[in-house]
Amino acid sequence: MNRRIARAAGLTLVAAGTWYAALQAQEARSVWDGVYTETQAQRGAALFDRECANCHGPSGAGGSMAPALVGPAFSANYDGQTVGDLYERNRSSMPVGREGQLSAQQNVDITAFMLQVSKFPVGTSELPPQTMLLKQIKYVVDDPRTPNQGDRPAGTHQDNTPGTEWIKRLERPERIPGLKTDAVIALLHLKPGDVIADIGAGTGAYTIPFAKAVAPAGQALAVDIWPELLGYIQEKATTAGLDNVRTILAARDDPRLQPARVDVAFFHDVFHNMNDREGYVRRLAGYLKPEGRIAIIEQEFDDPIARKWDRPEDRITKEQVRAWMAHVGFQLVAEFDIFQGTHNPQGAGMPERWFVVYGRAAHSSQ
Ligand code: HEC
C-alpha cells in the first residue's frame, strides 16, 4: 500500500480497512526505515553549514558554544521520541538568535541531515515538512529490526561516530596527563621485547609510549575498528621514528591478532564497548602467550561522567569482569588505584577508573 497514493486519493475515497492498514504502517515507522533521501540530506547539509555549524561544529560534532548534535549524549535525549520532536526543537528554538526564521522546508531538510549524520539509513521518500506526520516517525536509537544481533546501537561507543571525530575527542590536551602512561608502563613491567596489544587504541595515546617501552625488539600493536584512527597512529609512529608499531584493523568482536603472540592485551576505557564481553575474553585468550596478561582500565560504574556517556548496560563492574575471566580460566593477578580519587587530575573530564590485570590461573604466581 503506497501511502502517497492514499493521501493523493483522499482518505474518504479509500476503504476504511486500507486506511487503517496505512495508518498502522505509518505508526510502525521509525528512523530505521529510510525516512529521508540523500538529496534532502544534502540540502540540509548546506543549510546546517550556514545556520548551525558555527555553534554546533561541522556536521554537529560539537563546538565550544553548543553541544554536539550527534553521539550518545545527544541521541539519548531523543531516544523514544519522534522525528517530529527533533524537528520541533530545531524549528522553535534554533538557530539561537534567529529562532523560528527558517522555513518549515529548511528545518525539515536540516532534520534529515541530522538523521544522516547519526547514520540512520537513507530512503526513497523525503521527510515531509509537517510536524503531525513527522510525529509518526519514531526516533529510536536501537534498530528495531535487528534485536539481539550483538551489535551495539548508534549512540554507544561502537556507534557510527567517525574516526576523525574520535581523534578530536581523544586528543583533547587536558585528557593526556590523566592517562598516566608512564605509571601504566611501570606497573605492567613492560620491557624491551614484549608484545603489547593496545586494543581500542584510538589515537595511540598509549600505543606510542608502549612502543618506546618495548623497543627495539618488542612490538606495540595498535588495534582498532576505525581505519582513520589506525592511519593517524601510523603517522604518529612515523613522525616519532618508531618502526615497531603495527596497526591492525579489528572486527567489533575480534581483535584479529596472531595466535599465542601477545604478552599484554591492554584496554583503556574500551572493554565495556564489547558486545559479548565473555566471548571477547575467550577469543582474546587464543592470542595470548601462555603467560600473557590482560590489563583492563575501566570507568567506575557510578561515576557521573560515565553515567552521562554510557547507559547502564554499556558500563561494567569489576565483579562482572572477574566472573567473565573466571569462566575462561583467568584470575586477578594485580590491581592498582592510580586512577582513583584524589590521584585523578582535576578538570581532565575523565571518570574515575579501576585498573585490573588478569592472567591464566595456571600461570599466575600471585
Ligand atoms: C548561536 C549558537 C547556535 C546556533 C547558530 C544554533 N544553535 Fe542549536 N544550540 C545552541 C545551544 C547553546 C544549545 C544548548 C542550549 C539549548 O538547549 O538551547 C543548542 C541546542 C540545540 C539542540 C538541542 C540539543 C539536545 O541535546 O537536545 C538542537 C537539536 C539544536 N541546538 C539544533 C540546532 C540547529 C539545527 C541549528 C541550525 C538551524 C542550531 N542548533 C543553531 C546554540 C546554537
CA distance 207 to 2: 54
Per the model's pLDDT, the better-predicted residue between 203 and 157 turns out to be: 203
Q: Using a 6 Å cutoff on CB, does residue 64 contact ligand 1?
A: no
Average pLDDT on 258-271 reads 95
Q: Name the nearest CA neighbour of 120 among 86, 163, 90.
A: 86
Rounded-to-5 percentages of helix, strand, coil across the chain: 45, 15, 40
Q: Using a 6 Å cutoff on CB, does residue 95 contact ligand 1?
A: yes
Sort residue 242 into left (φ over 0), alpha (ψ -120 to 50) or beta.
beta
Helix (H, G, I), strand (E, B) or coil at 219: strand
Which residue owns the Cα nearest ligand 1 atom 25?
74
Nearest ligand 1 atom to alpha carbon 98: 5
Mean pLDDT of the chain: 85
CA of 301 from ligand 1 middle (Å) equals: 30
Q: Which of 77, 94, 102 to mutate to test the pocket of ligand 1 (most atoms within 8 A of CB)?
A: 94
CA distance 302 to 352: 9
CA distance 68 to 299: 22
Q: Using a 6 Å cutoff on CB, does residue 46 contact ligand 1?
A: no
What spatial distance separates the first Cα and last Cα of the chain, rounded to whole Å? 68
Q: Using a 6 Å cutoff on CB, does residue 53 contact ligand 1?
A: no
Instruction: Name the pairing type of β-strands 195-199 and 219-224.
Output: parallel
State yes or no: pLDDT of 356 exceeds 70: yes
State the alpha helices, DSSP H only, in 258-350.
277-285, 304-309, 318-327
Which residue owns the Cα nearest ligand 1 atom 10?
66
Q: Which of 70, 90, 96, 141 to mutate to test the pocket of ligand 1 (most atoms within 8 A of CB)?
A: 96
CA distance 86 to 71: 15
Q: Using a 6 Å cutoff on CB, does residue 113 contact ligand 1?
A: no
Residue pair 28/135 in contact by the 8 Å Cβ criterion: no
Q: Name the nearest CA neighbour of 84 among 40, 124, 41, 35.
A: 35
State yes or no: pLDDT of 158 exceeds 60: no
Residue pair 212/243 in contact by the 8 Å Cβ criterion: no
Helix (H, G, I), strand (E, B) or coil at 81: strand
Q: What percent of the chain has pLDDT over 70?
A: 83
Q: pLDDT tens for residues 88-99?
A: 999 999 999 999
CA–centroid distance for 182 within its chain? 27
Helix (H, G, I), strand (E, B) or coil at 331: strand
CA of 111 from ligand 1 middle (Å) equals: 12
Amino acid at 72: P
Give residue 145's pLDDT band: very low, low, confident or very high (50, 70, 90): low
CA–centroid distance for 87 within its chain? 24
Q: Using a 6 Å cutoff on CB, does residue 83 contact ligand 1?
A: no
Q: Using a 6 Å cutoff on CB, does residue 77 contact ligand 1?
A: yes
Average pLDDT on 48-52 reads 97
313: burial class by Cβ within 10 Å (0-12, 13-18, 19+)? exposed
Average pLDDT on 250-271 reads 93
Peptide bond into 58 cis (omega under 30): no
State yes or no: pLDDT of 280 exceeds 80: yes
Instruction: Name the pairing type of β-strands 262-268 and 219-224.
Output: unpaired
Q: Enter the C-alpha cell of residue 313.
A: 548496560
The CA angle 82-84-85, to the nearest 5 degrees, is: 70
CA of 156 from ligand 1 middle (Å) equals: 21
Q: Enter the C-alpha cell of residue 255.
A: 581483535
Q: pLDDT tens for residues 60-69?
A: 999 888 999 9
CA distance 121 to 160: 12
State yes or no: pLDDT of 272 exceeds 80: yes
Give residue 57's pLDDT band: very low, low, confident or very high (50, 70, 90): very high
pLDDT of residue 81: 93
Q: Using a 6 Å cutoff on CB, does residue 109 contact ligand 1?
A: no
State yes or no: pLDDT of 100 exceeds 50: yes
Q: Domains in the chain, start-ordered, CATH in brackets?
A: 3-146 (1.10.760.10), 164-363 (3.40.50.150)
